Structure 1
């Protein structure tokens, strides 16, 4: 059974400002450099008219993983990740995300929405983590969900600095 993930982040910037960052290839390159982990790289960036599709590879060194994970899957985790943003529709934008750890029967997927919130904007991410392993699957899903929330907090901090300096 999959574990739900929900995360929201408030920004003091407009939806248009945040969306402009999310569809900018330079944002993603800077983001990967700061938040992506060792060896992170952009595999594909397709920028359209107000849209973007990004595919990237990230890694989590084994020494930063709980022993429960390294017993089942030794070594560094290599994560293939995608993020897509659609064109801005008024003061709203929507997107999708996914991630898969190479060599494991698990995945993360979900949706994103960016809306006006008071004087700023609100980014809401909703998704689920699913690891298809008997006995250990739900425990690993819980660990991954916690790690994803930490990563989303780091991404929020980066995005706030990026948009403040733009």
Structure 2
């Protein structure tokens, strides 16, 4: 059974500034340096006319993992994440994201929407996490969903500051 991960992040900056940031290779390198954790790396970046396709790897040290996760997957967790953003279409843009953990039968997937909100912009994430393990899959999904939201909040804080500094 999959668990939904709804999340929304508001920005005081307009859509075009937020979009310019999330489709910039420099932004991704800086974001990974700031909030990616130890051993984080940008594995692939492809940019186009207002578009981007990113793949990165991040790790969570074993000592920060709950026991339910450590029992089935000992050691540090290596997470491979992808994110894509399309070009602006009017005053909005859409994207997709995914994440998978090496050695665990599960994934996080979803869509992203960047749109105007009041005098700024918002990125709305509609995601889901699914771990295909009998009996304990739901517990692990809950842990992952919580961790994803914490990471999204940290990435939002970074993004807001990065855009303000760039303008």
TM-score using structure 1 length: 0.99
Aligned to 1:87: 87
Aligned to 2:119: 119
Aligned to 2:106: 106
Counting only pairs closer than 5 Å after superposition, residues 141-152 of structure 1 correspond to structure 2 as: 141-152=141-152
CA distance in 2, matches of 1:19, 1:104: 33
2:40 is the alignment partner of 1:43: no
Aligned to 2:71: 71
CA distance in 2, matches of 1:154, 1:64: 17
Deviations 1:74-111 (A, max 9, x none): 00000010000000111101000000000110000000
Moved over 3 A (4+): none
CA distance in 1, matches of 2:18, 2:67: 37
Aligned to 1:30: 30
Instruction: Count residues in correspondence.
Output: 166
**Structure 2 stretches lacking a partner, 5+ long:** none
CA distance in 2, matches of 1:122, 1:82: 20
Aligned to 1:130: 130
Once the two structures are TM-superposed, the CA of residue 72 in structure 1 deviates from its matched residue by 1.1
CA distance in 1, matches of 2:11, 2:113: 13
**Structure 1 stretches lacking a partner, 5+ long:** none
SS at match of 2:9: strand
SS at match of 2:75: coil
CA distance in 1, matches of 2:26, 2:165: 13
